[in-house]
Amino acid sequence: MNGQELFGLFILTSLLGALASLSMGRWSKACRVVSFSFSTLSSMLGLALALEVLLGSGTVVLTLPTAVAGFGTFSFVIDQLSAFFLLAISILGACVSIYSLGYTKEYEGKYSLGTMGLLFNTFLLSLVLVVSADNAILFLIMWETMSVSSYLLVMYENRKQDSVSSGLLYVVMTHLGTALITVAFIIMWLNTPGDHSFDFSAFRELGALGAMPELARNVAFILLLIGFGTKAGLVPLHVWLPQAHPAAPSNISAMMSGIMVKTAVYMLIRCYFDFLGTWDTWWGLLVLLIACISALVGVLYALMEEDLKRALAYSTVENIGIIFIALGAAMVFESYHLVDPVANAHLGDLAALALIAALFHTLSHSLFKGLLFMGAGAVLHATHTKNLEELGGLAKRMRWTGVLFFIGVLSISAIPPFNGFVGEWLMFQSLLLTQNITDPMVNLLLPVAVAVLALTGALAAACFVRIFGATFLARPRSRHAAEAQEVPRSMLVGMGIAAGLCVLTGVLSILIVPEIDKVTSSLLGVSIAGKLVNGLILSPPAGEFSSMSPLAIGVLLMIAIPASLAISRFLGGRHKVVTGDTWDCGTPLTSRTEYSASGFSEPINRIFKSVYRPHIEVRTEYTTSSLIKRRISFSRSIEPVFERYLYAPTIGLVLALARRLGFIQRGSIQAYLAYIFVVLLVLLVVFR
């Protein structure tokens, strides 16, 4: 079966899954099985298509039979870059689909599983069509389909008020981003050579010719950064993300955080490295600066969250920032390489290395963040709470979930040889190997980026020690946690596949990096696979600086861990083990005396007090006597800085402007006809 046939079969399978879900809505169990079986099958077809393109050399093109005059040809194209993101979509789509077979069982009799299946299959299909659309108009149609279907999935549990409010915020932010993206595409369309065209091939030709005026290029760059940055969750455009992801069902949260935000990464790479041609160094520096802020803000807020899913959502903001650090660095290096490819050949290598690091971390994040959100869903499924202060002790009640969640924690904490470590290690190499750059801003920001990467890595490790400890270790802090039971097998299988891939993509990164090099070389024209991979060792272009072998680390750990356990058992067996009560200062040892999530993060709260601006409230309840206290309760909240000082004034300004402009809507049909007439006249003048 060739690529076109696989692509067509994927689309057909997704559509059949959506239609079958809609038609079988009244039979909940059968609908659940059929819906997610179809999405699993379509994901496997997408995986086969991605591997065919990545491991081969061809490009798959699927052209729609009709074309709209003035808009170009509506085609879907799977090239190296599209295939890479299709790979990530398909892998996580298959894992989440299998997971959903068990997870959605609790919705039977409460919500329509036909609606869930319809929207999920549509969402999965739109993700693939977004990264394969080869026309700006077609891309915007698919982008809106993805946005609307994900919005409806966020709103799925519509009986919960937080789902409704979060969905509203999400749809407003995503459409604001879409509006800016549309304007950027129009600017590029106006500058395409010959007859104006919305085809990406025309945008690509525009970039190759370098014919776009500097002002238009700069405006398009800013609009694209804001528009796609909104979907990606870059600070300060991130406010929807910690609201929408926790409100959505956990299987949808896994897809949104693991994959959907990466579509913005895909399109920014496509636009910056494929469409806009040469660029100024300040583009990369601006991306680098915003990325550093996003990484720090994301991890700092994740550390303070008591809601498990909100903490994971803020962690997504952090990891998007890390990906954009690598993208910004690649843009800076490539700006110098394009000016003088001979003298700056080493910077071309570093640009390729930074872009490889960004793509590798993109794939890694889709796996471990999807795994962690599925794990959070398993915890919610078993305990009916996301509050870290009401969990604890689940390692004994949910052993397999605990093990799989722990693998996700090790991956996101960049512990070798898991995949999260490899991506960040490659980033460090690209940032530390810079030389012969005289620009003082570059020499200032690159070391700052290194420091931010190191700091966020340390804080991320602390964050997930806190999350795992509060959730799975110590004693249960609520009745729900004490009575939790292991989740259905299908949920464990979905998480298990993702966990296994977190290990394999890290250990076997020496096989994956050369394939990613094919993707980056198609964009930059520079291949560094021969310099980067030496046998079983990863070494950056300046090999004398540093080298690393994830496979060797993995093999050593496989030997060292069982050996240490055997030695400890052998030596410990010679001594009598004496058990006794833990020293507890004379108080009964209960869950109230153990370290809580809030207590763990309190030192960090004090260090970054100026960022958090915490508000602490202590409430005291008395008995009939004012001298005897019945209960003392403590609560801590963090000031929503971005919402209060950025979004609230903006919303207030928009509402005030709307009230001022209310006079144009008076219910007069004559006035509305006049408005239409004026708009038509303007269009005739502009497009005469």
pLDDT tens for 303-355 read: 988 889 999 999 999 999 999 999 999 999 988 878 777 777 788 888 999 99
Look up tokens 């819906």; give the residue: 35
* pLDDT of amino acid 67: 61
Residue, of 645 and 629, whose pLDDT is higher: 645
Q: How far is Cα 496 from Cα 445, in angstroms, rounded to an integer?
A: 40
Q: Average pLDDT for residues 523-552, to the nearest whole number?
A: 80
Q: What pLDDT, in 10s, does the model give residues 629-639?
A: 677 776 677 77
Paired residues of 538 in beta bridges: 533, 548
**Does an H or E element contain 655, and which?**
helix 648-660
Q: Cβ distance 467 to 311 under 8 Å?
A: yes
Q: Cβ distance 523 to 268 under 8 Å?
A: no
What's the pLDDT band for 584 if we cut at 50, 70, 90?
A: low
Buried b (16+ CB within 10 A) or exposed e, 80-95: bbbbbbbbbbbbbbbb
* pLDDT of amino acid 684: 78
What's the pLDDT band for 581 if we cut at 50, 70, 90?
A: low
* pLDDT of amino acid 311: 92
* Assigned token pair, 353: 């290395």
Q: What pLDDT, in 10s, does the model give residues 183-194?
A: 999 998 888 877
Q: Average pLDDT for residues 82-104, to the nearest whole number?
A: 94
Residue 543 has pLDDT above 60, yes or no: no
* pLDDT of amino acid 576: 67
Paired residues of 629 in beta bridges: 622
| 3-class SS of residue 237 | coil
Give φ, ψ of 135 to 5 degrees: -150, 135
Q: Cβ distance 390 to 475 under 8 Å?
A: no
* pLDDT of amino acid 212: 81
> What are the CA-CA distances from residue 618 to residues 305, 316, 592 (Å)?
19, 32, 17
Residue, of 201 and 210, whose pLDDT is higher: 201
Q: What pLDDT, in 10s, does the model give residues 344-393?
A: 778 888 899 999 999 999 999 999 999 999 999 999 999 998 888 889 88
| 3-class SS of residue 77 | strand
Average pLDDT value for the chain? 86
Q: Average pLDDT for residues 201-220, to the nearest whole number?
A: 83
Q: What pLDDT, in 10s, does the model give residues 141-167?
A: 999 999 999 989 988 887 776 777 777
* pLDDT of amino acid 195: 72
What's the pLDDT band for 410 if we cut at 50, 70, 90?
A: very high
* pLDDT of amino acid 542: 65
**537-538/533-534 β-pairing:** antiparallel
Give φ, ψ of 620 to 5 degrees: -120, 130
Residue 520 has pLDDT above 70, yes or no: yes
What's the pLDDT band for 113 if we cut at 50, 70, 90?
A: confident
Q: Cβ distance 50 to 83 under 8 Å?
A: yes
Q: Cβ distance 20 to 35 under 8 Å?
A: yes
Choice among 18-22, 247-251, 286-290, 651-655 with the minimum mean pLDDT: 651-655
What global pTM score does this model have? 0.90
Contacts of 66 (CB under 8 A, 6+ apart): 74
Q: Over the Cα atoms of the chain, what is R_g?
A: 26
Residue, of 557 and 13, whose pLDDT is higher: 13
Count of alpha carbons within 13 angstroms of residue 445, beta-carbon side: 25
Q: Average pLDDT for residues 521-547, to the nearest whole number?
A: 80
Q: How far is Cα 188 from Cα 180, in angstroms, rounded to an integer?
A: 13
* Assigned token pair, 335: 């700006």
* pLDDT of amino acid 41: 95
Please report, as a single letter, which amino acid is at residue 276: L
Q: Average pLDDT for residues 76-83, to the nearest whole number?
A: 93
Q: Average pLDDT for residues 89-93, to the nearest whole number?
A: 95
> What are the CA-CA distances from residue 276 to residues 270, 280, 358, 482 (Å)?
9, 11, 19, 57
Residue 95 has pLDDT above 60, yes or no: yes
Among 338, 533, 538, CA closest to 422: 538
Angle at 398 between CA 392 and CA 401, to 5 degrees: 105
Write down how long the chain is.
688
Look up tokens 């999530």; give the residue: 597
Q: Average pLDDT for residues 203-216, to the nearest whole number?
A: 81
